[in-house]
Amino acid sequence: MWIERLRRQPLVVRAIWAVLAFAFAAALIEARWSLAFVSVATFALSLVPVLAQRRLGIRLPVRFFGWIVVFVFATIFLGEAFDFYNRFWWWDVVLHGGSAMAFGLIGFLFVFMLFQGDRYAAPAWAVAFMSFSFAITIGALWEIFEFAMDQVFGLNMQKTGLVDTMWDLIVDTLGAGLGATAGFFYLKGRELGGLTAALREFVAANRRLFRRRPGRRRGP
């Protein structure tokens, strides 16, 4: 059963899980306990979407699941265990932009679900703006979290302080704008790379979430 489920996962997900298993085994042999812990933690977090979709009653398309696993791997395993944040100055920028774009897509799906999948319930630009606002809010809350951790526990999550925070917010804005634009293009029936395709896949896999509820009608 588990082997069959493993075969159904995207190639990139199976490759990442294999790397994590190898890193965990090597860490145990070399008594590198921190690497072993990070490997297990990364694998556990990569399984959260599987558990969440069962709990919430949603279905994650292969593309969505693959993106999530890659992001977790890049953030926790490569970023922390192998110090990619300090090795490559652009690593944090790419991850911030990617997460903001993802939250833009999630914000669009959430707003679209509230409108029960009705493309004409609100202007496309208004839905895109709400998606953009959702993603920016998440980014701002994360910066507040980093500031709180630095102040309370003496960490260095903000690195260069104000400069790091402002660049993070700028990248968040660009990523959120791209995610919201993908939602706008989706409503207009146009393409924007693989982003609009991902939205279509999610809506198709979760039709019941985007259906008008019986007994509800528009107007007074």
Taking the whole predicted model, whether its pTM rises above 0.85 is answered as: no
Question: Are 43 and 128 members of one domain?
Answer: no
Q: Which of 11-15, 120-124, 160-164 has the highest mean pLDDT?
A: 11-15
Single residue among 58, 87, 116 that ends a domain in this structure: 87
Task: Supply the pLDDT for residue 4.
Answer: 54
128: exposed, middle or buried (C-beta count within 10 Å: 0-12, 13-18, 19+)?
A: buried
> In this structure, are 175 and 187 located in the same domain?
yes
Residue 153 has pLDDT above 70, yes or no: yes
Phi/psi at 31 (5° precision):
60, 35
- The whole-number pLDDT of residue 115 equals 83
68 and 128 in a common domain: no
Average pLDDT over residues 171-198: 92
State the average pLDDT over residues 182-207.
91
Domain boundary among 39, 62, 87: 87
In a shared domain, residues 44 and 134: no
Range of the domain at 167: 89-213
* Mean of per-residue pLDDT scores for the chain: 86
Last residue of a domain, one of 87, 118, 133: 87
In this prediction, residue 220 carries a pLDDT of: 44
Residue, of 40 and 152, whose pLDDT is higher: 40
- Out of 148-152, 156-160, 212-216, least confident range: 212-216
The number of domains in the chain is 2
Question: How many CA atoms lie less than 13 Å away from 200 in the CB half-sphere?
Answer: 13
User: Is 162 a member of any domain?
Assistant: yes
Instruction: Tell whether the model's pLDDT for residue 161 goes beyond 90.
Output: no
46: left (phi over 0), alpha (psi -120 to 50) or beta: alpha
Most confident of 2-6, 10-14, 50-54: 10-14
Percent of the chain with pLDDT over 70: 92
Query: For residue 79, what pLDDT is reported?
Result: 87
Regarding whether 193 and 129 lie in a shared domain, the answer is yes
